[in-house]
Amino acid sequence: MAGYTEDELKEDLKQQDYKFGFVSDIESDKIQKGLNEDVIRLISSKKEEPNWLLEYRLKAFQIWKEMTEPNWAHIKYKKPEFQDIAYYSAPKQTKKYESWDDVDPEMKETMKKLGISMEEQKRLTGTAVDFVMDSVSVATSFKDKLNELGIIFCSFSEAVKEHPKLVKKYLGTVVPATDNFYAALNSAVFSDGSFCYIPKGVRCPMELSTYFRINEGGTGQFERTLVIADESSYVSYLEGCTAPQRDENQLHAAIVELIALDEAEIKYSTVQNWYPGDKNGVGGIYNFVTKRGMCHTRSKISWTQVETGSAITWKYPSCVLRGDYSIGEFYSVAVTNNYQQADTGSKMIHLGKGTKSTIISKGISSGKSHNSYRGLVQINKRAKNARNFTQCDSLLMTDTCGAHTFPYIECKNSSAQIEHEATTSKIGEDQLFYCQQRGLSEEKAIGLIVNGYCKEVLDKMPMEFAVEARKLLTLSLENSVG
Amino acid sequence: MLSIKNLHAKIEDKEILKGLNLEVKPGEVHAIMGPNGSGKSTLSSVIAGHEDYEITEGEIIYQGKLINEEAVEDRAREGIFLAFQYPIEIPGVSNINFLRAALNEIRQSKGEKDISAKEFMQRVRDKSKLVDLDQSLASRSVNEGFSGGEKKRNEIFQMAMLEPTLAILDETDSGLDIDALKVVAKGVNALKTKDNSTIVITHYQRLLDYIVPDFVHVLFDGKIVKSGDKSLALELEEKGYDWIKEINVPSL
Amino acid sequence: MNKLQNFRKNFNPTSIPLRKEMLTLSEEILKKNDFPTTKNEKWKYTRLGKLSRLSLEKSKDTSTIKKSSEKISEEAITIEIINGFVNTISDLPKGLIIKSLKDCSKKELAFLGENIHLENEVFHCLNSLYIQDGIYIEIEKDTKLKEEIHIVYNNLSINTFNPTRLYINSKSFSEANIVELFKSDGAENSFVNPVNEAVIHENAKLSITKIQNEEGNNFHIGSDTIYQKKDSFFKCNTITLKGQFIRNNIYVNINGTNCETHLNGAYLMDGKQHVDNQTKIDHFTPNCESHELYKGILDEKATAIFNGKVIVHPDAQKINAFQSNANVLISDDANVNSKPELEIYADDVKCSHGSTTGQLDENAIYYLRSRGISKRKAQAIVSQAFIKDVFSHIDSESSLSYIFKTLEKQHNWEFLD
């Protein structure tokens, strides 16, 4: 019963448009547009990287050049012009931040507008926050407390310098550069991101959180997140994303790699609210992201996502259930409105014995948008007694949108049990009438019904995040009834 | 309170109400009876403001105001409550959040402040006792997985929470056993005041043993063909609806 | 020269006077393409490598050979087709026209290919260009056929390509029940390619039951393209009892309101058999319903694919579409790939699909065994229970008893009811 209040909702309902569309006036260090080996060397040297990482990048670049952009997804868009993107943009900083007080006031203002004032976050929720603006991690809070437990939570660049062994050991092991076109691109040009390591047997006492923000125009954002949960450890990780309103389409091609060693558990929650473009489909972020987790014996990875932003979303957070009795979960709400297009879902690759996976996907389409679920459940030969349950539901708000379901179910073991269910339907008119008869306005009734429809997924989110997600859902669907 | 004059209404080109008249004063209980297909549920939907029904002629005047064109939620905020014949299930939305949202919207429309959490919970406790509604049902999703009896009791519970001026009970007795029926009736009677009115729509006389009406109307073929006191209900029970068909005369 | 061009070199274009445009377009498409690979989404799980490497001859005219194949029923109107050539057609009742394409008028032949896609359909093109014979069936207006039409395709040849064509013209208010039996007595390394087209006019009803019971090491790639007009009814049951390599494509275009469509399928495969069922239902018009039910049992090293697609196009409101695929795997080496897809562009619809993969109910088998039934028989009984609801959609009694007889022979099943 706690959580979202009617007041908050009401306040938000007044705001009609994308509310994170401001541009912060922060000086940035941006290199010229285009991509070639020299640019990669430049990025690497700006970041003072060791040679092995430069080699990794150059190899990835070679692989990328050989690849073609995938076109199997149910999306239509103008392919990005890869030579017209600046591959590095960092807020200009003269010195390293020693403490929160050193952070540029304009930057602090930006965070405040995003609702992630660090002080407040610290005080209220005890969440450690890493803030990544454009491509660079600018502030990480709560470091000391985490240090005591041996937890490493820092920017990716810092991890490369301070913990090169760990980075070298795990980088690219879950998502190799060869995986796909955008993964190869990211591997070549990634600029920063978050790194997290939880030592053996440690239960991370607070939620770790990263906020991603694209601020500069004409840039792409290519961040990289690597989370390693050592044996029997636990971590809950949150990720939030926003970007300013621009007429151009900006490319976001990130990689998230999760590694859950034996008996570890990782919970990864995302609220994605990249700028979706305007009502006529102009501008917006191209969100082409590769997220994958590797599950070792008896470990568990669960992905929870609420996707309301981006002009185009192409992402399939996945689990490779390599260890016996490991568990993979995917809970997703994807909302599309106006001209947004989303092709999203999950892949569950069952390799180990007794592995289990659950996929719950809720798609809501409105306006002239297209929303597709694409999922793969693969039971391999060795995966004895594997179980999967998949449910994907689509809700249609207008007669001009589309909702599509493309599940792939591949089974090579006779002891597997796989269940897949999908439904597509219109928002219930009888439900609307019932709510309205009790005095609720149409907008409010829709908000209520949609939130109820997504409850299974929202319930999986940490409380504070769920509140934000609920508000976003209501906001994204304003004026959407056909 | 409510004054319906020469009401004609249709759904998808099929005329269902064909000149219905009804006058309900504050504090009164009216029972509307009639055979299946006579237009009973249409009448309740039309009063509540269901958009599938089109009023082609006549007027519905509620508290001195013509409400023919008013939106369903506005009517609800002004105190019209419909207990549904088939209460709707809304997965994932808890009964309690639903009610709090509804209650606050109604209060806001009257310029009142939102109810405090404490006061709200107190009211939930008090009112759920009224209909013997298990507290746990209050936190479950709206009507989802409720038994038939629980759904009907939940309707009366909502009515108790929202304190309407005009309550319409649409076949609230259907599908209830006698014990459940008594519980529902007890709830309805407890909510009765000299200022609010109730319209009980039913097919059977037995509910009227527990909710005693001041007036009984017989609806047939979209019109009220006979009105009387509660003895009319008994007469109907005895003679059956065929009797009405026989006495059906153009005007009364 | 790519594999497709190499495959083509032994065949001459058809001598039947089909529509020129269809033939020219087929030739053009074939020239530009090769056999599809697993990169092609429609062929993701079925490899054509073996087929494409075969060096096949065209089959010789068999219409004069007197060879009587096994019949399903003596009472039905029976057509026998051997190696792609029409062999015999039994006497016809009033209101029914059945003839070899060789005997068709130009007007009748002009119907062929009207609704069939050639682009991206190499096997439609091969069929159109190289058929040597086929059948035209017309059920005249208001004719409600009491007798079933049975078409027995028998493939006897070795190393040949046997394309056949069937055109069904279901005129308004007509009703027909067609059974197709596919056999291959003694054939080896042959490729049968039956392409069916049907137009179901207003208020007409058409049911097709396909029984595939093909011996030997042969390839079967077939397709049905159905065009439904308003108020029409179509049902297709595809029962695959045996076949080394079977691919069934069913495309249904629903172009009128108030239509009903049922696609059902059952497959019982073992050995190294491979069956690939592809269905696509396009709802272009409002107020229609479609139902799909495919069930299969896979033993040994068998593989099954189900790819069902339902597309509800813009403005096709009030569509109810249901799709269900259930599989039972008996052996650890059996494979199943299931891909039920929905593409919805209208909002007032009710669509759902489900797919399950699992085992036979162990508790049920245990219970039966505890009553003294052998394990094998118990498995057979539980398998029957699993697959029976597909059989219940078959209206033809004689087909049902043929299916039961075959299953008894092939799997030692005993039918209890």
Residues of chain C in contact with residue A418, where contact means CB-CB under 8 angstroms, are: 355-358
CA dihedral of residues A422, A423, A427, A430 (deg, nearest 10): -130
Q: Which two tokens stand for residue A479?
A: 């004026």
Average pLDDT of the segment spanning B72-84: 89
pLDDT at A111: 57
The span from the CA of C112 to the CA of C131, in Å, is 12
A454 interfacial to chain B (CB closer than 8 Å):
yes
Average pLDDT of the segment spanning C299-307: 95
> What average pLDDT does chain C have?
92
pLDDT at A9: 36
The 10 Å Cβ neighbour count of residue B245 is: 12
A404 interfacial to chain C (CB closer than 8 Å):
yes
Instruction: Tell me which of A343-347, A476-480, C111-115, C388-392 is least confident.
Output: A476-480
Q: Report the complex ipTM.
A: 0.82
Residue of C389, C386, C367 whose CA lies nearest to C378 = C367
pLDDT at A91: 61
Q: Is the pLDDT of residue B147 over 60?
A: yes
Contact A403 C340 (CB under 8 A): no
The beta-carbon neighbor of A437 closest among B76, B91, B100 is: B76
Using pLDDT thresholds of 50, 70 and 90, give the confidence band for residue B251. Answer: very low
Instruction: Tell me which of A84-88, A443-447, C53-57, C371-375 is least confident.
Output: C371-375
The 10 Å Cβ neighbour count of residue B178 is: 11
Contact A435 B98 (CB under 8 A): yes
CA distances for A15 relative to A11, A18, A447, A471, angstroms: 7, 8, 15, 11
Residue of A466, A457, A468 whose CA lies nearest to A332 = A457
Residues of chain C in contact with residue A348, where contact means CB-CB under 8 angstroms, are: none
Percent of chain B predicted with pLDDT > 70: 96
Chain A residue closest in CA terms to B107: A439
Contact C327 A411 (CB under 8 A): yes
The beta-carbon neighbor of C339 closest among A408, A418, A423 is: A408
Residues of chain A in contact with residue C354, where contact means CB-CB under 8 angstroms, are: 419-422
pLDDT at A250: 80
Residues of chain C in contact with residue A430, where contact means CB-CB under 8 angstroms, are: none
In this predicted model, what pLDDT tens digit does every residue of C351-404 receive, in sequence order?
Answer: 999 999 999 887 777 777 777 677 777 788 888 889 988 999 999 999 999 999
**Crossing angle (nearest 10°) for helices A442-453 and A6-14:** 120
CA dihedral of residues A310, A314, A318, A320 (deg, nearest 10): -150
In this predicted model, what pLDDT tens digit does every residue of C32-45 receive, in sequence order?
Answer: 999 999 989 899 99
CA B93-B96-B100 angle, to 5 degrees, is 105
Percent of chain A predicted with pLDDT > 90: 39
φ, ψ at C142 (rounded to 5°): 65, 5
Q: Is the pLDDT of residue A295 over 90?
A: yes
In this structure, is the dihedral angle defined by the CA atoms of residues C403, C305, A359 and A468, taken in order, positive or negative?
negative
Residues of chain B in contact with residue A1, where contact means CB-CB under 8 angstroms, are: 94, 96-97, 139
Residues of chain C in contact with residue A428, where contact means CB-CB under 8 angstroms, are: none
**Residues contacting residue A297 through CB under 8 Å, at least 6 positions apart:** A262, A263, A323, A324, A325, A326, A352
Chain A nearest-CA distance from C316, in A, is 10
- Identity of residue B99: L
Using pLDDT thresholds of 50, 70 and 90, give the confidence band for residue C415. Answer: low
The span from the CA of A266 to the CA of A228, in Å, is 9
Average pLDDT of the segment spanning A205-221: 73
In this predicted model, what pLDDT tens digit does every residue of C109-160 receive, in sequence order?
Answer: 999 999 999 998 999 999 999 999 999 999 999 999 999 999 999 999 899 9
Instruction: Tell me which of A156-160, B239-243, C194-198 is least confident.
Output: B239-243
CB A447 within 8 A of CB B98: no
Average pLDDT of the segment spanning A72-85: 83
Q: Is the pLDDT of residue C417 over 60?
A: no
Structure-model confidence comparison of residues A285 and A21, the more confident one: A285
pLDDT at A106: 61
Structure-model confidence comparison of residues C65 and A360, the more confident one: A360
Average pLDDT of the segment spanning B135-147: 79
- Kindly list the strands in the beta sheet with B65-66, ordered across the sheet, starting from the edge strand earlier in the chain: B14-24, B2-11, B53-62, B65-66
Using pLDDT thresholds of 50, 70 and 90, give the confidence band for residue A18. Answer: low
CB C15 within 8 A of CB C129: no
A351 interfacial to chain C (CB closer than 8 Å):
no
pLDDT at A96: 46
pLDDT at A5: 42
The span from the CA of B60 to the CA of B22, in Å, is 9
Average pLDDT of the segment spanning A84-112: 60
> What average pLDDT does chain A have?
82
The 10 Å Cβ neighbour count of residue A199 is: 16
CB C269 within 8 A of CB C275: yes
A430 interfacial to chain B (CB closer than 8 Å):
yes
A185 interfacial to chain C (CB closer than 8 Å):
no
CA A450-A451-A455 angle, to 5 degrees, is 120
Contact C337 A410 (CB under 8 A): yes
Structure-model confidence comparison of residues B144 and A303, the more confident one: A303
Residues of chain A in contact with residue B88, where contact means CB-CB under 8 angstroms, are: 428, 430-431, 433-434
Q: Is the pLDDT of residue A150 over 90?
A: yes
Average pLDDT of the segment spanning A55-62: 94
Q: Which two tokens stand for residue B150?
A: 């629980």
Q: Is the pLDDT of residue C222 over 90?
A: yes
In this structure, is the dihedral angle defined by the CA atoms of residues C20, C21, C24 and C29, taken in order, positive or negative?
negative
CB A228 within 8 A of CB A202: no
Q: Is the pLDDT of residue A7 over 80?
A: no
Chains in touch with A (3+ beta-carbon pairs under 8 Å) read B, C
B157 interfacial to chain A (CB closer than 8 Å):
no
pLDDT at C416: 53
CA B229-B234-B236 angle, to 5 degrees, is 100
CB-based burial, A380-406: b 16+ in 10 Å, e otherwise = beebbbbbbebbbbbbbbbebbbbbbb
φ, ψ at A93 (rounded to 5°): -135, 130
B135 interfacial to chain A (CB closer than 8 Å):
no
Pick the residue of A410, A413, A415, A419 with the most C CBs within 10 A to test the interface with C by mutation.
Answer: A410
pLDDT at A140: 58
Average pLDDT of the segment spanning B103-119: 87
Give the three-class secondary structure for C13. coil
- Chain A, residues 28-47, CB within 8 A of chain B, namely none
C-alpha A371, offset from chain centre? 17
Q: Is the pLDDT of residue A138 over 70?
A: no
In this structure, is the dihedral angle defined by the CA atoms of residues A187, A190, A194 and A199, taken in order, positive or negative?
positive
Q: Which two tokens stand for residue B128?
A: 């759920």
Residues of chain A in contact with residue B104, where contact means CB-CB under 8 angstroms, are: 6
The span from the CA of B131 to the CA of A386, in Å, is 47
pLDDT at A318: 95
pLDDT at A459: 86
Q: Is the pLDDT of residue B143 over 90?
A: no
Q: Which residues of C touch A (CB under 8 A)?
A: 41, 45, 314-315, 317, 327, 329-332, 334-359
CB B230 within 8 A of CB B29: no
pLDDT at C259: 96
CA B78-B79-B84 angle, to 5 degrees, is 125
| Neighbouring-strand partners of residue B77 | none
